Amino acid sequence: MDIKNVVDAIELDKIYIIRIVVAMLLGGLVGMERQLRGRVAGLRTNILVCIGAAAVTIVFDRMFIQYTIDSSSVIRMDPARIAAGIITGVGFLGAGAIIKSNDSIRGLTTAASIWAVAAIGIATGVGYYVIAATLTALILFSLYILHTLPLSRNVYFTMRMGWSGELNILDEVVSELEAGEIVVKSRIIKRSPQNGKCQAVLKLRLSQKHLDYELIEKWHSDSRFDEVALYSYNVSSNLEG
C-alpha cells in the first residue's frame, strides 16, 4: 500500500477517526478525575474503555452499512446488539474494580464510572457528540461536585473488649454508648467458665455529626478491662471510590 492509498483511506474514514479522538478526550476527562482521587481505574483505563467502545460501535456501524443492502437483504444486522454487548462486557471490567475487604466495600463508584464511560464511547461512535458531551459533563458533576457536598454520613465501628468478671459490665458500656446517640447494631459475647474471662464484640453505628471519639475511647483507660480495641470497619464513603 503506497502513501496515496493511505491518505485516501484516512480521508475516507476521517469522520470515524474524529469520533475516536473525541471519545479519547471525553473518556480522558472522566479518567483524570478518577486518577486524581487515586482510584484503581484512572486515566488510561477510562480512555481505553471509551475508545474501545467507540471503535467497536464504529466497526459495527460500517458493517451494517456495508452488508445491509435493502429490506430484502439476506444478511440483516441489528445495531442495538453491539451496544448491549459492550455494556455487558464492560460490566465484567467494572466488577474487577469492586474490592470487598472484611466489612468494607470500595470501588462501586469507579465501576459505575467505567460503565458510564462505555456509554460515552458508544454515543461518540455513532456520532452523537452532543449526547456524549452532555453525558461527560453529568458524570463529572456527579463525581466531583456531588462528592464535595457536606452530607451527613453514618460511621461504623467494631469495638472488641475483654475483661475478667461478670457480664453485667457490658450493660453499663452499652447504656453509656446509647446515651451518646451511638447505636449498638449487634453484640457477640463469650465467657470462659474456667477462668471467668469475658470477650465482647460490638458493632456500632453513629452519625458523623455526633461523632465523639472520646466517648468510645474512654474505655481504653478503664482499668476493669484487659483489652479494648476499636476498628473503623465501614464508612459510607467506602461504598464510593
Q: Is residue 9 over pLDDT 60?
A: yes
Give dist(CA 62, CA 54) in Å, integer: 12
Smallest CA-to-CA distance from 120 within 130, 109, 106 is with: 130
Domain boundary pick from 148, 180, 207:
148
Average per-residue pLDDT for the chain: 79
Residues 162 and 142 in one domain: no
Give dist(CA 66, CA 91) in Å, integer: 29
Length of the chain as a residue count:
241
The pTM of the full predicted model, rounded to 2 decimals, is 0.65
Residues 136 and 25 in one domain: yes
Residues 54 and 137 in one domain: yes
Inter-residue contact 201 to 187 (CB < 8 Å): yes
Cell digits for 44? 488510561
Residues 185 and 142 in one domain: no
Domain boundary pick from 97, 131, 148:
148
Q: Residues 6 or more apart from 8 whose CB is under 8 A from it?
A: none
pLDDT at 50: 92
Give dist(CA 18, CA 14) in Å, integer: 6
pLDDT at 23: 92
- Does a structural domain hold residue 240? no
pLDDT at 238: 44
Cell digits for 181? 446517640
Domain CATH for 170? 3.30.70.260
- pLDDT category at 236 given cuts 50, 70, 90 is very low
Smallest CA-to-CA distance from 20 within 119, 125, 132, 126 is with: 125
- Does a structural domain hold residue 241? no
pLDDT, mean of residues 40-61: 87
Residues 169 and 117 in one domain: no
- Does a structural domain hold residue 135? yes
Q: Is residue 58 over pLDDT 60?
A: yes
Q: Is residue 76 over pLDDT 80?
A: no
Residues 144 and 158 in one domain: no
Q: What is the pLDDT of residues 106-149, one digit of tens each?
A: 778 888 888 899 999 999 988 899 999 999 999 999 888 877 77
- Does a structural domain hold residue 137? yes
Residues 161 and 110 in one domain: no
- Does a structural domain hold residue 51? yes
Whole domain around residue 206: which residue ranges? 154-233
Residues 88 and 182 in one domain: no
Q: Is residue 239 over pLDDT 70?
A: no
pLDDT at 235: 46
Give dist(CA 214, CA 112) in Å, integer: 37
Residues 33 and 123 in one domain: yes
- Does a structural domain hold residue 217? yes
Domain boundary pick from 148, 175, 192:
148
pLDDT, mean of residues 54-60: 88
- Does a structural domain hold residue 238? no
**SS3 state at 95:** helix
- Does a structural domain hold residue 169? yes
Residues 95 and 181 in one domain: no
Residues 24 and 137 in one domain: yes
Q: For the ranges 23-37, 113-127, 206-220, which has the lowest average pLDDT? A: 206-220
Residues 197 and 124 in one domain: no
For the chain, how many structural domains are there in total? 2
Q: What is the pLDDT of residues 158-183, one digit of tens each?
A: 888 888 887 888 888 888 888 877 88
